Amino acid sequence: MPVHVTDCLTVLRRQKDACLVHALREEALDQLPALVGPAGAAFVLAAGFKASPGQFVLVPDAKGKPVALFGLAPQGVRDPYQFGALARRLPAGNWQVKTPADTARQDVVLGFCLGAYTFALKSGAGTVQPDAPRLVVTETEKKSRAVETAISLWLARDLINMPANLLGPSELAHAAREALTPFGAEVTVIKGKALDKAYPLLAHVGNGSERGPRVVVARWRSSKASKKAPVISLVGKGVCFDSGGYDIKPSGGMLRMKKDMGGAASVLALARLIMAQNLPVQLELRLGCVENSVSGHAMRPLDVVTSRAGLTVEIGNTDAEGRLVLCDLLAEAGESNPDLLLDMATLTGAARVALGPDLPALFCNDNTLAQTLIEVSEAEADPLWRLPLWQGYAGWLRSPVADLNNISSRPMAGAVTAGLFLERFVKAGQQWAHIDTYGWNDSSRPGKPEGGDSPGVRAIFATLEKLFGSQNGAVS
């Protein structure tokens, strides 16, 4: 399998050495004789090729060299993932993809790279397979935003897919340091008594495991940014495995709980992309890296803990641990008064019931920001869907003994009440967005292999670029 994104790409001195993929739509079928010759055109039409989206066929050219035909999504529909099918269906060789003028080249490169992703821990894995196709690119494209995006998303996928015995809180913190320090970020990993004092609710979750919790705090300033540049603060839930604690999950509910650090993986991918693209901002990143275990020192139902913000929280359910991991980090992030605070978390099953696996739920306390995120997500073919921070449900989090409970008193609107819980730890007036994501593909589709994934990262980056890409805080 490719061991790095660039292993599925190649730069050729002579373009004629590459095999061709002609990507076309049904209205261009009359071009087939010019593309593959009259005999080839007759063959593929007889075989049922109609250039419908995703349709694929191989045919020899006049010299016996393979040529691929690939059906595109309808005109006006952006879908970079469709090109991921080519990374799986093309035979070994170097392939140049020809598309209509209205298809962005970056979508071809990004989609192919995302489709080439695989994860395996089998003996012999980790070497480039000789039968893997490679996309022909230029030297510039090999260093492009599309490739950097793919590298960032591969990083997140690798982390989410890693079994929990190989990726605990310490390993996740180490991975964050390894990803961020090459870009000049200052990375601090907090543990032990310092963590217990600074993040009491997070510690209450993580100290139930023999693998103690870690908090990653990273800071970075773009070479294009002055000290007055916008401050972006990212927070991620990094629960490396979630047993549910004493409110233990059924066995079937634990089967994918290695992915419960998907929020941390996603914001790490986002942070890496911000740095790789040198967005003219100041960046802060906080990851809460814990394991939610059952033990003699694990948190118990009805425990009451005082948070960093001073609010007391009653533990109504130990399986609602993600919001406990996030709330101290959100409170600390607000102390810097960032221009934007954003968190990502695999937080609630309720969001998945409402929206399914493909649509991360967006909660936001600013209508203008929310509208921008939604519009950009649609343009990027990386959709988000807004759900309300409905204040009418805030009373459902009341506790008779504490300032609030970590779960709702009613079995409804679980994603909304989780968002409302987090909002209690966000400073008044702070612009904030919360993304409740699934972080997983249940089945393989073009560009989206089964396993860990980070939907929303591209949309959020493009939003940040739109909002802060040309700020006055940039260094002239």
Positions marked catalytic = 249, 323
Count how many Cα atoms sit within 13 Å of the Cα of residue 398 in the half-sphere of its side chain: 6
Neighbours of 187 (CB within 10 A): 18
Cα–Cα distances in angstroms (integers) from residue 146 to residues 7, 92, 137, 277, 424, in the given order:
15, 23, 12, 11, 37
**Spatial separation of the C-alpha atoms in residues 449 and 117, rounded to whole Å:** 7
The phi, psi pair for 134, rounded to 5°, reads -130, 140
Distance of alpha carbon 42 from alpha carbon 78, whole angstroms: 30
Cα–chain center distance at 262: 7
